[in-house]
Amino acid sequence: MSTATLEPRVQAPRNYLNAEYGWKSWLFTLDHKRIALLYMISITFFFMIGGFFAVLMRIHLIEPQGALVQPETYNKLFTLHGVIMIFFFLVPSIPTVLGNFLIPLMIGARDLAFPKLNLLSWYIYIVGGLFTLYSAIAGGVDTGWTFYTPYSSTYSNTQVTAVVVGVFINGFSSILTGLNFIVTIHKMRAPGLTWFRMPLFLWSIYATSIIMILGTPVLAISLFLLALEHLFHVGIFSPALGGDPLLFQHLFWFYSHPTVYIMILPAMGVVSEIIACFARKRIFGYKIVGFSSVAIAVLGFLVWGHHMFVTGQSVYAGLIFSFLSFLVAIPSAIKVFNWTSTLYKGSISYEAPMLYALGFIGLFTMGGLTGMFLASLATDVHLNGTYFIVAHFHYIMVGGAVMGYLGGIHFWWPKISGRKYPQGWAALAAAIIFIGFNLTFFPQFILGYLGMPRRYAFYPAEFQVLNVMSSAGASILGVGYLIPLIYFIWSMRYGPVAGANPWGAKGLEWQTSSPPPPENFTQIPVVTEEAYAYAAEEKTSRG
Partner 1 sequence: MSEQIVPVKTYIVVFAGLIGLTLLTTWVAFIDLGAFNTVVALVIAFCKMLLVIFFFMHLRHSGGLVRVVLLAGFFWLALLISLTMTDYRTRSWTPAPDAWSTNAPPTHP
Partner 2 sequence: MADTHSEHVQTKYAGLAHQFEDLAQQHDADTLGIWLFLVTEIMFFGGVFAAYAIFRWFYFAAFAGGSRLLDIRLGAINTVVLLGSSLTMALSVRSAQVGNRRALVLFLVLTMILGGAFLGVKAYEYHQKFVEHIVPSLDWAPEGEVLARLAPGGLDHAQLYFFFYFAMTGLHALHMIIGMGLLLWLVLRARKGSFTPDYFAPVEVVGLYWHFVDIVWIFLFPLLYLIGGRY
Partner 3 sequence: MQGIPFQPEQASSIARSVDHLYFFITAVTLFFTIVIFSTIFYFMLKYRRRSPDERPKAIEGSLPLEVLWTAIPTLIVAAIFVWGSSLYFQNSEPPPGAMEIFVTGKQFMWKAEHPEGQREINELHVPLGRPVKLTMTSEDVIHDFFVPAFRVKKDVLPGRYTSMWFAPTKLGTFHLFCAQYCGAFHAGMIGSVIVVEPDEYERWLMGGVQGESMEAAGERLFRENGCITCHLSDGTGPAPSLLGLYGNTVHLTNGQTLIADDAYIRESILSPAAKVVNGYKPVMPAFQGQLSEEQILNLVAYIRSLGHPLDNAKGKQQEEGKK
Q: Which residues bind partner 1 (CB under 8 A)?
A: 186, 210, 214, 218, 246-247, 250-251, 254, 301-302, 304-305, 308, 313-317, 320-321
Nearer to partner 2, 146 or 332 (CB): 146
Facing residues of 453 across strands?
Answer: 386
Q: Could you give the 3-state DSSP secondary structure of residue 206?
A: helix
Strand residues in 260-331 grouped as ranges (E): none
**Residue 72 site contact among partner 2, partner 3, partner 1, none (CB < 5 to 8 Å, cut-off depends on kind):** partner 3
Rounded to the nearest whole angstrom, what is the least distance from the CB of residue 189 to partner 3 in the complex? Answer: 23
Rounded to the nearest whole angstrom, what is the least distance from the CB of residue 385 to partner 3 in the complex? Answer: 4
**Residue 86 site contact among partner 3, partner 2, partner 1, none (CB < 5 to 8 Å, cut-off depends on kind):** none
Nearer to partner 2, 252 or 373 (CB): 252
Cα separation values, 361 from 20, 22, 339, 480, 522, Å = 40, 41, 8, 19, 37
Pairwise CA distance, residues 477 & 471, whole Å: 10
What number of CA atoms fall less than 13 Å from residue 52's CA on the CB side?
Answer: 8
Rounded to the nearest whole angstrom, what is the least distance from the CB of residue 108 to partner 2 in the complex? Answer: 11
Residue 452: other Cβ atoms inside 10 A: 20
**Residue 195 site contact among partner 1, partner 3, partner 2, none (CB < 5 to 8 Å, cut-off depends on kind):** none
Angle between helices 315-342 and 352-375 (to 10 degrees): 160
Pairwise CA distance, residues 36 & 183, whole Å: 18
Type of residue found at 237: F
For partner 2, the binding residue among 69, 73, 244, 420 (CB under 8 A) is: 244
Facing residues of 445 across strands?
Answer: none
By CB under 8 A, tell whether 70 contacts partner 2. no
**Residue 320 site contact among partner 1, partner 2, partner 3, none (CB < 5 to 8 Å, cut-off depends on kind):** partner 1
Nearer to partner 2, 111 or 142 (CB): 111
Nearer to partner 2, 3 or 65 (CB): 3
Q: Could you give the 3-state DSSP secondary structure of residue 495?
A: coil
Nearer to partner 3, 18 or 349 (CB): 349
**Residue 201 site contact among partner 3, partner 2, partner 1, none (CB < 5 to 8 Å, cut-off depends on kind):** none
**Residue 305 site contact among partner 2, partner 3, partner 1, none (CB < 5 to 8 Å, cut-off depends on kind):** partner 1
Pairwise CA distance, residues 321 & 315, whole Å: 10
Rounded to the nearest whole angstrom, what is the least distance from the CB of residue 269 to partner 2 in the complex? Answer: 20
Facing residues of 419 across strands?
Answer: 497
Q: Could you give the 3-state DSSP secondary structure of residue 497?
A: strand
Pairwise CA distance, residues 496 & 501, whole Å: 13
What number of CA atoms fall less than 13 Å from residue 370's CA on the CB side?
Answer: 25
Pairwise CA distance, residues 411 & 509, whole Å: 12
Contacts of 160 (CB under 8 A, 6+ apart): 141, 143, 147, 152, 153, 227, 230
By CB under 8 A, tell whether 207 contacts partner 2. no
Rounded to the nearest whole angstrom, what is the least distance from the CB of residue 301 to partner 1 in the complex? Answer: 6
Residue 378: other Cβ atoms inside 10 A: 9
**Residue 267 site contact among partner 2, partner 3, partner 1, none (CB < 5 to 8 Å, cut-off depends on kind):** none
Pairwise CA distance, residues 296 & 287, whole Å: 14
By CB under 8 A, tell whether 183 contacts partner 2. yes
Type of residue found at 430: A
For partner 2, the binding residue among 68, 213, 372, 435 (CB under 8 A) is: 213
Number of residues that bind partner 2 (CB under 8 A): 54
Rounded to the nearest whole angstrom, what is the least distance from the CB of residue 186 to partner 1 in the complex? Answer: 7
Rounded to the nearest whole angstrom, what is the least distance from the CB of residue 308 to partner 1 in the complex? Answer: 8
For partner 2, the binding residue among 54, 202, 236, 270 (CB under 8 A) is: 236
Pairwise CA distance, residues 5 & 517, whole Å: 8
Site string for partner 2, 85-114 (x = CB under 8 A): -------------------x----xxxxxx
By CB under 8 A, tell whether 220 contacts partner 2. yes
Rounded to the nearest whole angstrom, what is the least distance from the CB of residue 391 to partner 1 in the complex? Answer: 27
Of residues 117-176, which lie at the interface with partner 2 (CB under 8 A)?
175
The pair phi, psi for residue 134, each rounded to 5°, is -60, -45
| DSSP run (H or E) holding 251 | helix 245-279
Rounded to the nearest whole angstrom, what is the least distance from the CB of residue 534 to partner 3 in the complex? Answer: 7
By CB under 8 A, tell whether 26 contacts partner 2. no
By CB under 8 A, tell whether 182 contacts partner 2. yes
By CB under 8 A, tell whether 52 contacts partner 2. no
The pair phi, psi for residue 438, each rounded to 5°, is -65, -35
Contacts of 542 (CB under 8 A, 6+ apart): 499, 501, 502, 504
Rounded to the nearest whole angstrom, what is the least distance from the CB of residue 343 to partner 2 in the complex? Answer: 38
User: Footprint of partner 2 on this chain (CB under 8 A)?
Assistant: 1, 19-20, 25, 28-30, 104, 109-115, 175, 179-180, 182-184, 186-188, 213-218, 220-222, 224-225, 228, 232-236, 240-244, 247, 250-251, 254, 517-519, 524
